Amino acid sequence: MTRIYLAGPMSGLPDENYPAFNSAAAHLRTLGFDVENPAENTTPACCSWAGYMRLAITQLLSCDCVVFLPGWSVSKGACIEQRLAADLGIPGYMISRVLRDPEAVKAFTTMLKNSVAKGYSVNKVLPKPNPEQGDV
């Protein structure tokens, strides 16, 4: 099963944008994805932005791909998550692309995971992102 990390804006939005995260997670789960939703995290002991990011990064590292919600590019945390995922060869997709063609996302992510498991370099396997198709 493809494991997805959800990324998007939270800080400063009404209800921390949890309704959008929870709606996206529920929809992706009905499509057969395993979803890591940072909106479902418990409050860290320190109650700080950095504490939330530490939880989020741990989740991201356990996932096969990252799915970005609208507005992600103006979120400090989501930009950090995007950069980390890109540097580690974890593919990223806009939510609209995943909803439009979930089977293609599953197939590509599985192919990439299998190639890396066989020792292929991520840089040789992963094509350049195509923003017109919803890649990040």
DSSP 104-134: HHHHHHHHHHHHHHTT--HHHHSPPP-GGGT
The pLDDT, as a whole number, for residue 124 is 47
Tell me: pLDDT of 27 over 70: yes
Q: Where are the alpha helices (DSSP H) in the chain?
A: 18-30, 49-61, 76-88, 95-100, 102-117, 122-125
Confidence of residue 133 (pLDDT cuts 50, 70, 90): low
Summarize pLDDT for 46-99 with one digit per residue, the tens: 999 999 999 999 999 999 999 999 999 999 999 999 999 988 888 889 999 888
Q: In CATH terms, is domain 3-133 a member of 3.30.70.270?
A: no
Mean pLDDT for 104-112 is 81
With vertex at residue 26, the alpha carbon angle to CA 25 and CA 29, rounded to the nearest 5 degrees, is: 85
Q: How far from chain centre, in Å, is Cα 47?
A: 23
- The chain-wide mean pLDDT, for the chain, equals 86
Q: Which residues pair with 35 in a beta bridge?
A: 4
- For the whole model, what pTM was predicted? 0.83
Q: Where are the domains of the chain?
A: 3-133
